Amino acid sequence: MSLAAFAAAWLLHLMAAISPGPAVLMSARTGMSEGLRTGAILALGLAAGALVWASAALFGLALLFKVAPSLLWGMKIAGAIYLMRMAFVMWREADRPFDTGQAGRPPRSAASAFRLGLFTQLSNPKPAVFFSAIFIGTVPQDAAPWAVGLLLLAVFLNEFLWNTFVARVFSFERARSGYISLKSVIDRSFGGLLALLGVKLAAF
């Protein structure tokens, strides 16, 4: 695998990771509401989910979708339901006062944050389609195992570093103060966007 082919695959995935979607949305909200530490753990879960999709694509996911196209349709419906459920929870709890960690519910655990990131990524068919229909086309069929391994590492780092950066930006005190004062509006906006993404997944 040439350096040019590796760079093309890396850059293509980086652009996909940066594009707005459930992962970026969840990173921003977690950074605002729970800070950088929880946002970084969430980003680890998102990166692990992307690694699962990338590995599956490199080892036959595209062929599976061709043989059983209803599987992709089923994944889209399941993903849409998951996103809309998260949207409903955000909307329902939008008026609940912000918990600074001193009262009310305890802060989200590391395991919970990781699971949220992982399930958010796995429930989203967008990376499945991207990796199986676009990304895999940039990887030569005769690529050496070590090159494939480096590419998977690059996918993991792209997702982790970008979503950690998003969480960091939204964890600054100014963003946090703005979130506390506008929690109801922000949570309902995030919930509405997640619901729209869910509808889009189910419709296309």
**Chunked in runs of 10, what are the mean pLDDT values of the chain (204 residues)?**
75 77 85 89 95 82 64 68 72 65 59 92 76 64 77 92 92 75 74 73 62
Q: For residues 171 and 42, what is the distance between their CA atoms, to the nearest angstrom? A: 13
34-69 burial, b for 16+ CB within 10 Å, e for fewer?
bbbebbbbbbbbbbbbbbbbbebbbeebbeebeeee
Q: What is the pLDDT of residue 141?
A: 64
pLDDT of the residue at 104: 43
* Closest C-alpha among 50, 54, 6 to residue 24: 50
Domains in the chain, number: 1
**Rounded to the nearest 10 degrees, how much is the dihedral formed by the CA atoms of 92, 19, 138, 201?**
40
CB 43 within 8 Å of CB 168: no
Query: Cβ atoms within 10 A of the Cβ of 76, count?
Result: 21
What is d(CA 179, CA 171) in angstroms, rounded to the nearest whole number? Answer: 10
Alpha helices in the chain (DSSP H): 3-18, 22-58, 61-67, 69-92, 110-122, 125-133, 145-171, 173-181, 183-203
Place of tokens 């196209």: 69
CA distances to 90, 93, 203 from 60, in Å: 36, 41, 25
Neighbours of 107 (CB within 10 A): 14
Q: What integer pLDDT is reported at residue 49 of this predicted model? A: 93
- How many CB atoms are located within 10 Å of the residue 95 CB? 10
Q: What is the pLDDT of residue 113?
A: 93
- Specify the pLDDT at position 150: 87
Domain that holds residue 85: 3-14+22-99+106-203
